[in-house]
Structure 1
Amino acid sequence: MTEALKVTGLSHSFGDLEVLKDLDITVQKGEFVSIVGPSGSGKSTLFHLVGGVHTPTAGAIEINGQKAKRGLIGYMPQQPALMPWRTIEKNVVLAQEIKGKADIAAAREWLSKVGLDGFADKYPHQLSGGMQQRVAFLRALLSDQELLCLDEPFSALDAMTRLEMHRWLLDIWEANRRAVLFVTHNIEEALLLSDTVYVFSSRPATVIEKVTVPFGRPRRDDVVDDPDFVKLRRRLTDLLTGSPR
């Protein structure tokens, strides 16, 4: 078995509101997969279903061969959601602590690896937005789950910090190769980071197209200037705006 996530025939409604319709999505082990789509198309709802927060109206979700339930994924939300009364190292090990196996030494080692050496005993309000996002990602990474779900984690950052976080995330991911499901509104971000991109329609969300990203790894951020990258970005934009060329 090579699938970290397998979504088959997934549909979900909240009362009379149909949000997702007949989705088929696969994330292989070690694969970085992104989902792009219009606002309100149900991308975050999909994460809630994958994370076991909701039970789907129809279809199936398997994570490493198990039916989706709470505790099977590492999750990074749009906002860092750090506990303000806990030190940075204590925030990093929170998921581990819940499982009764917090490793402070490993947390300090990872903080050093991601450029946060010397911040272990600080508190969230003492860190910049980008630094807080690094802490939130480490918390998900150190949860030891095979599948990491990242829900628009860089949307609140300014352009320069976002670019820095792209470089940082690619470096960390290359070194670990966890399976990642990444939600974003940003087509360029999806193409820069991903192996595969699923393009969602407006609600109820269906998969308009599954795109295999043709650029090799390790991937440099200047790939965005490649004519093939520009062409692919234009095609995905046209898919989302409904104006194919």
Structure 2
Amino acid sequence: MRVAGLNHSFKDLEVLKNIDISVEQGEFVSIIGPSGSGKSTLFHLIGGLLTPTSGTIEINGADAVGRRGLIGYMPQAPALMPWRTIEANVILAREIAGKKDRKIAREWLAKVGLDGFARSYPHQLSGGMQQRVAFLRALISDQELLCLDEPFSALDAMTRADMHRWLLDIWEANRRSVLFVTHNIEEALLLSDTVYVFSHRPATVLEKITVPFGRPRRAEVVDDPEFVKLRRRLTDLLTGVPS
């Protein structure tokens, strides 16, 4: 996926300014920035829900401006249908695409520790379990690019740490292309290959940072001196402290 020279405004409110980002095949890319800097708007543009004021969006080398159905999407809240079982929630995107095979849902639920919950309903699951279901719904869609919009922001610290380990294991086994939005600097560095830092609105790319740590990546990397140095660098960028 490539975004080049992207600009977007809502009437007189300029939200995005000359945004250039890319996600290579199998790459995990994060975007961090202040609240209200247009990160979610960028997802709406990539997903075809909005048309940019100017600029280009390409997915798999083809023009994706205004085209829907080209990405897998996971919002901040799980957004599960309360009247559908967990199995039925997982296959929702495939069902909309005309594919009703539930076997893949059962297989994946077992892989992520939710075996036995296929016939349960969302209210019967914890917050972390619901997030796993929402992620699986995006993962088993046919789209190569997964856009994850602050999926762990509502979770408590312990559940969030568990979800980081879980997501790293699942992603490293499948290597889908991921564009991940977060406010959490440590989360971005722990999960990502590349991190883009956005400015305040109108958002511009302040810096593109290549994360130097290898894969598979484990939680202990947060104690690495280079990790600490990068975390400080990103904090300074977001708070406007001169380097």
Output the TM-score relative to the length of structure 1.
Answer: 0.98
Match of 1:107 in 2: 105
Gaps in structure 1 of 5+ consecutive residues = none
Match of 1:193 among 191, 203, 206: 191
- Report which stretch shifted further, 63-72 or 159-168: 63-72
Report percent identity of matched pairs: 82
Whole-angstrom distance in 1 between the partners of 2:208 and 2:241 = 18
Whole-angstrom distance in 1 between the partners of 2:101 and 2:160 = 29
Deviation at 1:67, TM superposition (A): 1.8
Whole-angstrom distance in 1 between the partners of 2:214 and 2:236 = 24
Deviations 1:193-225 (A, max 9, x none): 000000000000000000000000000111001
Match of 2:200 among 191, 199, 202: 202
Question: How many residue pairs align between the two structures?
Answer: 241
Match of 1:166 among 140, 164, 174: 164
Match of 2:11 among 15, 37, 55: 15
Q: What SS does the aligned partner of 1:134 have? A: helix
Match of 1:65 in 2: 61
Whole-angstrom distance in 1 between the partners of 2:138 and 2:25 = 16
Deviation at 1:102, TM superposition (A): 2.1
Gaps in structure 2 of 5+ consecutive residues = none
Deviations 1:18-53 (A, max 9, x none): 000000001000000000000000000000000000
1:52 aligned onto 2:53: no
Output the TM-score relative to the length of structure 2.
Answer: 0.98
Deviation at 1:126, TM superposition (A): 0.1
Q: What SS does the aligned partner of 1:46 have? A: helix
Deviation at 1:81, TM superposition (A): 0.1
Q: CA RMSD in A?
A: 0.5
Q: What SS does the aligned partner of 2:23 have? A: strand
Whole-angstrom distance in 1 between the partners of 2:214 and 2:202 = 33
Match of 1:152 in 2: 150
